[in-house]
Amino acid sequence: MIDLTDCQPFARGGNRDCYRHPEQPDRCLKLVRTEALEARRKRQPRYKRWRPNHAMDDNQQEHRAYQQLLRDHPECDTLWHHLPRFYGQADTSLGLANVCELILSADNTPAPTLEALITADPLHPTLVDAIRQFQQWLRQHQVMTRNLLPHNLVVGGQDEQLRLVLIDGLGAAWAQQQLAQLPGGRRRYIERRIIKMNRRLHWEQQGRPGRWEEAEQRPLPHE
């Protein structure tokens, strides 16, 4: 049992708190907040509210997505260029945690999110390169992801060697996984995620003008 009594999370998402592992500082512990789970249940359409916690729990979904990833890509070391290594689940004093690689900056502190770094216009060329490399890797490995949101990507490493890592949003909904089985379906799905990622980056960089639901339908000039 990992004791987190005196630990503070280093970051908090909409659903989970993230702690640095007290004995293995290169690992991240993610714990679902119960109140976030309940709030999510209330936001669901009525017919989905009966679902058990484990069906809506981000940690369980992530665990399943990693299992699927490893079935799709057995012994593929390049997967971990842009995804944190996953070490399974562990009991903590605050409940069951997902354990994964903690992505670090050059000074050994947790890496910032892409969201925090895209306020500059134009973007720094090394960041643009890092984004391209990430998208190239997605195409090569055909990794299934949900929408690629800047707050779910962190930027590890330093200066010339930035590394974009998807720390949340691996896997896809059941229906999308079925469509991806059709000829060319997976490739089309991934291209669509990349297009949406670029539109999202552009929209956030502009200061989020208007509604995202409209911005995501609008092609960028170079598309």
Ligand X SMILES: Nc1ncnc2c1ncn2[C@@H]1O[C@H](COP(=O)(O)OP(=O)(O)OP(=O)(O)O)[C@@H](O)[C@H]1O
Distance CA 58, CA 178 (A): 21
Q: Which one of residues 17, 58, 168, 204 is an interface residue with Mg ion (CB under 5 A)?
A: 168
In this complex, which beta carbon is closest to Mg ion, that of residue 30 or of residue 186? 30
Q: Which of 193, 191, 190 is nearest to 72 (CA)?
A: 190
- What is the nearest approach in angstroms of ligand X to the Cβ of residue 71? 22
Distance, CA of 84 to CA of 153 (rounded, Å):
11
- The token pair at 181 is 């089985």
Amino acid identity of 181? Q
CB of 113 to Mg ion, least distance (A): 9
Cα–chain-centroid distance for residue 111? Answer: 13
Give whichever of 70 and 182 is closer to ligand X, judged by the CB atom: 70
Contact 168, 153 (CB under 8 A): no
Cα-only R_g, the chain:
18
**Residue with nearest beta carbon to Mg ion:** 168
Place of tokens 């609008």: 218
Q: Which does 103 bind (CB under 5 to 8 A by kind): Mg ion, ligand X, none?
A: ligand X
d(CA 142, CA 55): 25
CB of 16 to Mg ion, least distance (A): 7
Question: In the structure encoding, which two tokens stand for residue 76, read together?
Answer: 């593929």
From 20, 27, 152, 170, residue interacting with Mg ion (rule: CB under 5 A): 152
Minimum distance, C-beta of residue 184 to ligand X, in the bound complex (Å): 29
Provide the binding-site residues for ligand X, judged by CB under 6 A. 11, 13-16, 18, 28, 30, 58, 84, 100-103, 110-111, 113, 151-152, 154, 167-168
- Binding-site residue total for Mg ion (CB under 5 A)? 3
Nearer to Mg ion, 53 or 147 (CB): 147
Residue closer to ligand X, measured from CB, 85 or 187: 85
